[in-house]
Chain A
Amino acid sequence: MLTDSSDINTPRRHVPTAPFETPISESRLIKWLLTGAALAFLGLILVLPLASVFTEAFRTGVTPFLSALAAPDALSAIRLTLIVAAISVPANLIFGLVASWAIAKFEFKGKSFLITLIDLPFSVSPVISGLVFILLFGSFGYFGPWLVAHHIQIVFALPGIVLATIFVTFPFVARQLIPLMEAQGTGDEEAALSLGASGFQTFWKVTLPNVKWALLYGVLLCNARAMGEFGAVSVVSGHIRGQTNTMPLHVEILYNEYNFVAAFAVAALLAFLALITLILKSLLEWRYGGELAASRRH
């Protein structure tokens, strides 16, 4: 579908699809070389690791793979991962919606500072993310003695893991929604209000449907990170087998015990989840790319 360049009504955009047969591109040979080099690099860096996970997981057959996953510790790790995700993702979803409403639909000073603050977890090392909660709630932390006195366990238990996960996945939803909602403006909401809708109704019936795909996209990324987070969770979890190990942590434990097949089995499950995430992500981008493009300019 090539457009005649004499059509002045079509804004000229560089459409990054098939190359145009113009004298302003590189020679065939160079194209081949560059493409080959790029693909070789990607093959080495991306494909090989992914392939090895599955290869090693099934090295001794399907049965050891399945029994590794069915082991009690593995099952509890899977369960814990799911619980943590089930708590953190909705929490950050709600936060994301609330924050983007406050930021995108109103004008005030200090907006970009606020957005920078929201982005902070991205620039902090995961280990430090976990460290901060140890400093607060660990036995020698600020609230440590108080917590011990009240028999409340935060670190080395589920609450700590959830908190650390919420911290690291904090920005995902908000980052998708804010640029999109800013681009969409307040026109629709003002129209709804003028027709008599309440604030909440407006939000539910007008704003939300407008951003649903970006929201889904943000949730997808948030979930992927929540399930796969290692550093922060590792610090706060205490690595108590069968109790405070998420799937990534369990992989480490199995690896340290030289139980490679089992380690790779759990890793393969995680890799499989990652592939699903990628596929869903791509689907969303291909179908709703326009809408998402506004939010991808971070």
Chain B
Amino acid sequence: MNHAHVLSRLVPARMPSVLPGFGLTMGLTLTWLSLIILIPLAGVFIRTTGLGWDAFVTLATDPRTLAALRLSFSAALAAAAINTIFGFLVAWVLVRYDFPGRKIVDAAIDLPFALPTAVAGLALTAIYAPNGWIGALLDPFGIKIAYTSAGVVVALVFIGLPFVVRTVQPVLADFDKDLEEASATLGATRLQTVHRVLFPALMPPLLTGFALAFARGVGEYGSIIFIAGNIPYRSEIAPLLIVIRLEEYNYAAATAVAAVMLVLSFVLLLVINLLQGWNRRRTGFSD
């Protein structure tokens, strides 16, 4: 299969191997990847560059676009922050303490992964609507969650929860108890031990979890459009704006927003990756 041979020559510096099939499988893999992922994604950027820089900037800085981007990113940030704090708490309790049903609770953490986003959105709306279980409790105080940006944050907290918990759990579980004992024998209080010994080790997974939850939250669509209200400039998230532009057959605007989202997410993730690397070097721990 010439195709595979050519491709395997393109992949440089491979050590000779006893096992067969490299050419074939690598060829298939690269082909598949290109067809399904690379070319479609490239399409976005090619489309965007086709617009011309000025047109792109106009579309990207459109007030409605900016409002949508601002909402998506700030809500994702807030939700990721909340998840970092509570996710750490949950991970701590699951790893360190025992209580009836702990294993079931542990399994339930993955619910946001398994549940379709539309179902989550629907359920959250039902609960936080003014006549819902929680909404009804808060309504007398004038606190509205459904159909506001607060609702967006709540939905993203649901979506992002497992990321933080699952990245912190293994590190906490593997943490060498000797270190805590050493700290105690040296005279540290429990709080001092948690602060000076445990926390530095947990910082990398916390940051990682935060980054993952944040990235997920920025692009989330299904669970938000039910609960958000979707009012332009107020509670409209960026992905929804893309959909609306598509429905208007305004491909240009849609791609512009998408491109901005991709670039911003990429930059932010890069920053967080650098942060992690710095933290790793400083604390001497590796993920």
Which one of B111, B134, B249 contacts A274 once the chains associate, using CB atoms below 8 Å?
Answer: B111
Question: A131 contacts B97, CB within 8 Å?
Answer: no
CB neighbors of B among A58-109 (8 A): 95, 98-99, 101-103, 105-109
A17 CB within 8 Å of chain B: yes
A167-B37, A248-B118 in contact; A189/B19 too (CB < 8 A)?
yes
**Interface pick from A22-30, A145-153, A208-216:** A22-30
A231 to B95, CA, bound (A): 34
Check A140–B124 contact: CB distance below 8 A.
no
User: Contact flags (1/0) for B2-35 with A, using CB distance below 8 Å?
Assistant: 0000000001111101111110011011001100
The yes or no answer to B117 lying at the interface (CB within 8 A) is: yes
**Measured CA separation A264–B47 after assembly (Å):** 39
CA of A101 to CA of B23, assembled, Å: 11
Asked if A42 contacts B108 (CB within 8 A), the reply is yes
Interface residue? A234 (CB, 8 A)? yes
The smallest beta-carbon distance between B188 and chain A, in angstroms, is: 10
Interchain nearest-CB distance for B153 vs A (Å): 12
A271–B249 CA distance with the chains assembled, in angstroms: 34
Answer yes or no: B258 CB below 8 A from chain A CBs.
Answer: yes
| Interface size classification for chain A | 35 or more
Instruction: Contacts A252-B118, A255-B122 given; indicate if A14 touches B177 (C-beta within 8 A).
Output: yes
User: Beta-carbon contacts of B215-244 to A below 8 Å, as 1s and 0s?
Assistant: 100111110011000000000000110110
Q: Are A271 and B115 in contact (CB-based, < 8 A)?
A: yes
Given known A13-B174, A16-B95, contact A274–B119 (CB-CB < 8 A): yes
| Distance between Cα atoms of A270 and B123 in the complex (Å) | 12
On chain A, the residues within 8 Å of B119 by CB distance are: 53, 228, 248, 251, 267, 270-271, 274
Cβ distance A250 to chain B, nearest Cβ, rounded Å: 9
B143 → chain A closest CB, angstroms = 15
Residues from chain B with a CB closer than 8 A to the CB of A123 are 215, 219, 265, 269
Known A-B contacts A110-B11, A127-B239; the reply to A231 vs B222 at CB < 8 A is yes
Closest chain B residue, CB of each to CB of A22: B181
Separation of A90 and B205 alpha carbons in the complex (Å): 33
On whether A131 and B174 interact (CB within 8 A), knowing A108-B13, A231-B117, the answer reads no
Say if the beta carbon of B51 comes within 8 Å of chain A.
no
> Do B127 and A48 have beta carbons less than 8 Å apart?
yes
Interface centre among B19, B22, B174 (most CB of A within 10 A): B19
Tell me the bound Cα distance from A31 to B265 in angstroms.
Answer: 38
Which residue of A19, A99, A270 is within 8 Å of B29 (Cβ)? A99
0/1 string, B147-158, CB within 8 A of A gives 1: 000000000011
Tell me the minimal C-beta distance from B156 to chain A in angstroms: 11
Which residue, A99, A127, A142, has most C-beta atoms of chain B within 10 A? A127
Q: Is the CB of B246 within 8 A of A125?
A: no
A288 at the interface (CB under 8 A from B): no
Q: A248 to chain B: which residues have CB within 8 Å?
A: 116-119, 222
Q: Is A183 an interface residue (CB 8 A)?
A: no
Closest A residue to B72 by CB, please name it.
A125
Q: Let me know if B29 and A132 touch, CB within 8 A.
A: no
A46 and B158 within 8 A (CB): yes
A134-B95 Cα distance, complex, nearest whole Å: 45
Q: If A49-B124, A124-B262, A251-B118 touch, does A102 touch B29 (CB 8 Å cutoff)?
A: yes
Shortest Cβ distance from residue A186 to the other chain B in the assembled complex, whole angstroms: 6
In the complex the two chains form, what is the Cα distance from A34 to B78 in whole Å? 22
Q: Which chain B residues border A229 with CB–CB below 8 Å?
A: 116
What residues of chain B lie closer than 8 Å to A8, measured between beta carbons? none
Q: Give the residues in chain B near A128, CB-CB below 8 Å.
A: 44, 219, 239, 242, 258, 261-262
B101 to chain A, nearest CB (A): 9
Cross-chain contact of B96 among A16, A121, A126, A227 (Cβ < 8 A):
A16
In the bound complex, what is the Cα–Cα distance between A108 and B107 (angstroms)? 37
The one of A16, A103, A193 in contact with B173, judged by C-beta atoms closer than 8 angstroms, is A16
Question: Is the CB of B161 closer than 8 A to any CB of chain A?
Answer: yes
Taking a contact as CB atoms closer than 8 A, the residue among A14, A46, A101 that contacts B108 in the complex is A46
A138 to B250, CA, bound (A): 12
Q: Report B25 CB to chain A, min CB distance, Å.
A: 4
Q: Which residues of A contact B21 (CB under 8 A)?
A: 101-102, 199-200, 203
Nearest residue, chain B, Cβ from A224: B114
18 residue pairs of the A-B complex, CB under 8 angstroms, read A19-B96, A19-B98, A27-B190, A37-B89, A95-B32, A106-B17, A120-B37, A126-B219, A136-B40, A167-B36, A199-B21, A230-B118, A230-B221, A231-B220, A231-B221, A235-B243, A252-B226, A281-B110
- Nearest 7 A-B pairs (CB), nearest first? A125-B219, A228-B116, A230-B222, A199-B20, A132-B40, A231-B221, A49-B123
A-binding residues in B (CB < 8 A)? 11-15, 17-22, 25-26, 28-29, 32-33, 36-41, 43-44, 47, 86, 89-90, 92-99, 105, 107-120, 122-124, 126-127, 132-134, 157-158, 161, 170, 172-178, 180-181, 184, 190, 193, 215, 218-222, 225-226, 239-240, 242-243, 246, 249, 251, 254-255, 258, 261-262, 265, 269
